[in-house]
Chains A and B, each alone.
Chain A
Amino acid sequence: MAERTVAVTADLTPAELEQLLLERPDYEVQLESLNQWQLAWRRFRRHRLALAGAALFLALVAIAIIGPFFVHYDYYEIPHPDELVYAGRPPSWISGDWDPPLLMGETARLQRDILGLVVNGARLSLVIGVGATIISVVIGAVWGGVAGYFGGWLDSVMMRIVDSLLTLPILFLILVAGKFLGRGDWPSVMLIFGLFGWLGLSRLVRSLFLSLREEDFVDAARAVGVSDGRIILRHILPNTLSPIIVAATLSVAGVIIGEAFVSFLGFGVDITQPTWGNVLTSSLDFLQQGNWWWAFFPGFAIVLTVLGINFMGDGLRDALDPRARI
């Protein structure tokens, strides 16, 4: 009877499966179960906007990684005297002047090719934005999770610490911390944003834990002898993913913009290493002279990144929720 076995895997929808069973009644169909990640991937794949967002984000990452090999940039390279006339030129496709071809125009000060700045700046901007977000999400989730799960005096102490840190003017703190951690090098900027960015998130996570720990399924897990750590990781944390992902995507954008702001005050990443933030900042003096392209392209890069990450996060959130329809 069961001579032939068809293994049905990810790519059959229930309707297709039914069709198959109708056509081949002699088959014994063995269902190969999909694990959660396969199911999540299937849902993600069917979310068009999310795919577009992921593609956009991955493209930006690819540019950040390999772009600098094609578009050269060196802060210490002094432009040839003959080239000084190019300073402050708009993009070639606007001015019609294709000698030399300038995709994004040229800066006025020290005449840098903006394409070179945007491509080379992608590295640090993305690394700082994503890195600081990861740091703050990890700290915030653990801190808020522990406080919310265990509650009591531990919760009170931990949350009062958060409260008091929140009363400090964060920007000022970042500037002071920058002095100690060494001004201008990107790891310390990333670290500072990561170390001060988790406060709001920890409150969010705590509140989610507070309500989730009262759920019956948590009691059920406790009743069968599951350990606290495993309850936190397997039962509560997965149910807090959606708001955490949303907060994280917003945080990436926030950090990239925050880095720009700190750079503007002269405490961010040194101008010798371009980031979208400090390029944007340096354009400010020349905006009045109409050099809009100088601000537009790095700004646009930030917008694209944020958009891509947000779409991706949106899809991720739906994909990781088993209740969402496939």
Chain B
Amino acid sequence: MSGPDGGAAGGGPGEAGNGVPIVEIEDLKTYFPIRTGILRRLAGYVRAVDGVSFEIRRGEVFGLVGESGCGKTTLGRTLLRLQRPTGGVARLEGRNVLEFRGRDLRKMRRRMQIIFQDPVGSLNPRMPVSDIIGEGLLAQADVENRWGERKVRDKRVGDYLEEVGLRRDYARRYPHEFSGGQRQRIGIARALALDPEFIFADEPVSALDVSIQSQILNLLLDLRDRHDLTYLFVAHNLSVIQYISDRVGVMYLGKLVELSPVAELYANPRHPYTIALLSAVPDPDPRVRKKRIVLTGDVPSPAAPPPGCRFHTRCWLREQLGDPEECATIDPPFREIGGGHRVACHFAERIREEVSTAAVIGVEEPPGVPGGADPISQAS
């Protein structure tokens, strides 16, 4: 929080960025064709990301949660042009990154980087660390930054190894000589060395030992402040998201169902799916008895999503409300309900009336135990 450009970024977790969007996503779609038979006939599409719109503000950590297969990773990969988009617009400071080609695309890549989930698979086992980090520099070299020169490059590699808390001379080692946490730091250094503005962190801590997770999370927050970064942070772990995010989006089956500042979301969730997710967070205190909402059935296939609201087949609220017609027929709009809180549910307002959120989440004292709990102890 003390870096030269830390000013633009918000302070601690829970505070949003300065409000200027850096990334704007509009109706983004990524479909995967399903081909069958020897003629590879097109049999349909898996709608991994199916019409998602939101914006990420400069300096914030935007957390994205949802079950496996809901499209979180595909969304980020599409944004970074690692996956071909099917439709929609994704703007980085006003310019649609989905249209970039050739030179422009390469230049864009410098500004948007990725941190991978798997610290083993994301580092080429046959390359020394100096090449792993230096390769991006070489690819982005120009007369101005002089990254094409070995000396300049090596120095920068060393600088960034130190920046992520590793030793300079680790540059000559190979990935297998490091622990999981160290490898993840190398992956972070690789992304950081290009001096990006935006980083897509794809579950960067889920493969790590719990004791290492908080180290890496704190490193990421630290780097955000020092390098004026913006994160799109994907995770399964709701405690991690609560700790690191400023705003949170909840995805279900390729769509965003709820989006809100983090404190608001954890204190006042308005989508039945979010409430079910939050009720599944284990409490570190064994004496607290929680009532869990157990969703029945499987996630429907993203190749044939249910009509109307995608969640209606498993929705506990719909059951309580006596199966209203519109749930199964009308796709609920993603609407603002005040305070930057957006939700895609026809009956978001009735959640307060029909069910006590506190009772559902199972906390003893309604005002905000989830928000008030020590985030670090939950994160680790």
Contact = CB atoms under 8 A, between A and B. Distances in A.
Do A and B form a real pair?
A: yes
Nearest to B122: A216
Contact of A226 (B113, B128, B139): B139
A224 B122 contact: no
Interface in B181-206: 187, 190, 194
Interface string A219-263: 111111111001000110011000000000000000000000000
A321 B126 contact: yes
A323 B194 contact: no
A323 B114 CA distance: 25
B174 interface: yes
B176 interface: yes
Contact of A239 (B80, B124, B171, B190): B124
Interface residues of B, number: 34
B25 to A, nearest CB: 18
A322 B126 contact: yes
Interface string A197-235: 000000000000000000111011111111100100011
B213 interface: no
B123 interface: yes
Nearest to A238: B126
Interface stretch (A31-39, A59-67, A93-101, A176-184): A31-39
B187 A220 contact: yes
Nearest to A31: B169
B76 to A, nearest CB: 11
B346 interface: no
B126 A223 contact: no
Contacts of A216: 116-118, 121-122
Interface in A149-208: 156
Contact of A224 (B126, B127, B174, B194): B194
Contacts of B77: 219
Contacts of A221: 124, 135-136
Contact of A225 (B110, B116, B128): B110
B168 to A, nearest CB: 10
B109 interface: yes
A220 B190 CA distance: 9
Contacts of B172: 31, 33-34
A217 B123 contact: yes
B62 to A, nearest CB: 18
B82 A223 contact: yes
A20 to B, nearest CB: 16
B190 A225 contact: no
B140 interface: yes
B333 interface: no
B155 to A, nearest CB: 14
B201 to A, nearest CB: 13
A242 to B, nearest CB: 10
Contact of A219 (B114, B132, B174, B194): B114
A321 B175 CA distance: 12
A220 B125 contact: no
Contacts of A321: 126
B166 to A, nearest CB: 15
Contact of A227 (B110, B113, B114, B139): B139
Nearest to A236: B124
A223 B192 CA distance: 12
B114 A225 contact: no
B291 interface: no
Contacts of B121: 215-217
A301 B114 CA distance: 55
A34 B172 CA distance: 8
Contacts of B190: 220, 224
Contacts of B176: 322-323
Contacts of B140: 224-225
Interface in A5-49: 31, 33-34, 36
B139 A322 contact: no
Of the listed residues A33, A238, A320, the one surrounded by the most CB atoms of chain B closer than 10 A to its CB is: A33
19 contacts: A31-B172, A34-B172, A216-B122, A217-B122, A219-B82, A220-B123, A220-B190, A221-B136, A222-B82, A223-B80, A224-B109, A224-B110, A224-B190, A225-B139, A226-B136, A226-B139, A239-B124, A239-B126, A322-B126
Interface of B: 40, 77, 80, 82, 105-106, 109-110, 113-114, 116-118, 121-128, 132, 135-136, 139-140, 169, 171-172, 174, 176, 187, 190, 194
Given A34-B172, A239-B126, A323-B176, 8 more contacts: A215-B121, A219-B77, A220-B123, A223-B109, A224-B190, A227-B139, A239-B124, A323-B174
Interface of A: 31, 33-34, 36, 156, 215-217, 219-227, 230, 234-235, 238-239, 320-323
